[in-house]
Structure 1
Amino acid sequence: MNKPLASVIITTYNKPEFLKLVLLSYTLQTEKDFEIVIADDGSSTETKAVIESFSSKLKTPIIHVWHEDDGFRKTEILNKAIVKTTSNYLIFTDGDCIARNDFVETHLKLRKEYCALSGGYFKLTEDVSEKITNEVVEKQQCFNKHWLFSYNQPKSFKLNKLTTSALKAKFLNIVTPTKATFDGMNVSCWKKDMLAVNGFNEQMKYGGLDREVGERMMNNGIRFIQIRYSAICVHLHHDRPYKDEALMRLNKKIRQTNKKQNITFTPYGINKNE
């Protein structure tokens, strides 16, 4: 059996209604040769039921990687998910990000050796998020600015993140002042490059955990390419009750040490024996 071209790793935690919409968006992809690996940080059985309902709708089975709910352990479940992937190329996103139908195709088309692709996301307001239905996703209306305006999504420059023009996207990717980083909502890399830094640092909690692994990859010679206007997804609105300022300060300290000491490999990653 041939390996799929990509593994899409989707993180989730007790948001089954969001996950339904997100998984639906992957049944609509123009590129079909990919697998989905759900990195589930301890959701209830309702999430499992959603995943099982989509298993027959996709070309390859959905791999559900789950561990018990024991607080915010996103880095741990991501590492477990990486181990379960079968392809050579990894696309990371979240269970609250609906992918445009060319999302997987774009990541695969733009991939390069010794590089990672740094995508963006367009944040929907709470009111607009509540209007997203299966039909809206199937018709791709949530990526249409005129549809968004009809439900009072504010007009802003950030709407350019929904452009369908490849030329415009290429230009904006070049001129944007935003640095290309590892943002877990929309980023891709070669599996070998992720394994070379031993995956995510499991000391990290909410706040910069994805940037941290990206910074170690950069220290290891991986170049990040900006594709925030090319690979498109929209982010459903929600609160973040797990945000903890004390833990975020600890995360910042880890990142500062990595920068000062040019650290590439974490002993708190996938392989705990090195």
Structure 2
Amino acid sequence: MKASVIMSTYNAEEWLEKVIWGFSVQTEKDFEIIIADDGSRPKTKELLDRLRQEIDMPLVHVWQEDNGFQKSQILNKAIMASSSDYLIFTDGDCIPRQDFVATHIKFREPGYFLSGGYFKLPMDISIAITKDDIVSQRCFDVKWLTGMGLPDKNKLKLSAKGFIASFLNFVTPTKATWNGHNASGWKTDLVFINGFNQEMQYGGQDRELGERLFNKGLKSKQIRYNAVCVHLDHKRGYVNEETWKKNYAIRKNTRDNKVIKTPVGIDSNE
């Protein structure tokens, strides 16, 4: 397979189903979907068992027991469960446009990782989007979203194409960092740095991984206006100041000491 798509989830079946329908209609079909499940209830497995019969690409469910926010650990387990040498990362709340996988494959290059973004949707539109809206790609149409009540905001992420998209990637002040909702890289690079730091809970664990890839000598490409996904709204009950401080200290150590391999990562799960 050309790629493995790894997406995280936790007790969010309604959003996860919408995301999987988005991947079911990709222009590029030669990939697998790996669900990195951080301890969801049985409803998630039931959903995946049903969808596995309705979509064309392989759907792999990697699950671990619920032990609080342990996203880094389940992502590492998903990395090792992947069958491809190229890994695309997203979240179970980001619906991809139909050229999402093809775009990551098009721009991949040895010595680089790819950095994308997302377009945030409000809760009312997130709830209203149906399977038909996803399959028809209406949920990426600016006019349709405006008609659904999308507030007046910059919609270039959805409308930019071709040269304009490339130009906007070039001039954007946003750095090409590793963003967990839309990033990709070579499996060999991710395994070499020992994957995600499992000491980190919510808050910057994806950026820290990217910083270690930079320390390894990799460069990054900006594809935020090429690889498009819409983000479904949700609450974040797992955010707290203590965790942020701990994670910031780990990131500072990674930068200051040019850390490449995390001491608590993939090999901690063996």
**With structure 1 as the length reference, what TM-score do the two structures score?**
0.96
- For residues 119-154 of structure 1, the C-alpha deviation after alignment (integer angstroms, 9 at most, x for no partner) is 010000112112111111111111011111112212
Q: What is the match of residue 173 of structure 2? A: 177
Tell me which of 54, 68, 71 is aligned to 1:71: 68
| Runs ≥4 residues deviating over 4 A | none
Q: Specify the alignment match of 2:104 in structure 1.
A: 107
SS at match of 1:237: coil
Deviations 1:140-186 (A, max 9, x none): 111011111112212222x1111251111100000000000011000
Q: CA 1:161–1:41 in 2, change beyond 3 Å: closer, same or farther? A: same
Question: Which of 255, 258, 265 does residue 261 from structure 2 map onto?
Answer: 265
Q: CA offset at residue 267 of structure 1?
A: 1.4
Query: What residue number does 2:138 align with?
Result: 141
Question: For residue 92 of structure 1, what is the aligned residue in structure 2?
Answer: 89
The partner residue of 1:216 within 207, 212, 217 is 212
**Matching residue within 12, 36, 39 for 1:39:** 36
Maintained 8 Å contact 1:33/1:59: no
Does residue 129 of structure 1 match 2:126?
yes
Which position in structure 2 is the counterpart of 1:234?
230
Deviation per residue, 1:23-60 (Å, 9 max, x gap): 01111000000001100000011111111112123333
Q: Given the alignment of the two structures, is residue 246 of structure 1 paired with residue 242 of structure 2, yes or no?
A: yes
Per-residue CA deviations over 1:161-212 (Å, capped at 9, x if unaligned) read 1125111110000000000001100000010111110000000000001001
* Equivalent pair of 2:19/2:96 in contact (CA under 8 Å): yes
Percent of paired sites with the same residue: 50
Asked whether 1:256 is paired with 2:252, we answer: yes
Q: Would you say 1:16 and 2:13 are equivalent positions?
A: yes
Aligned to 1:229, the other structure's residue is in SS state: coil
Q: How many residues align?
A: 270
Question: What is the alpha-carbon distance in structure 2 between the residues aligned to residue 25 and residue 5 of structure 1?
Answer: 18
Change (3 A) 1:240 1:273: closer
Which consecutive residues of structure 1, in runs of 5 or more, have no partner in the other structure? Answer: none
Q: Is the 8 A contact 1:116 1:224 kept in 2?
A: yes
Task: Supply the distance in 1 between the matched residues of 2:85 and 2:136 (Cα, whole angstroms).
Answer: 31
- The residue identity in structure 1 corresponding to 2:41 is S
TM-score calculated relative to the size of structure 2:
0.98
Is 2:72–2:198's contact at 8 Å kept on the other side of the alignment? yes
The match for 2:52 is 55
How much has 1:273 moved relative to structure 2?
9.2
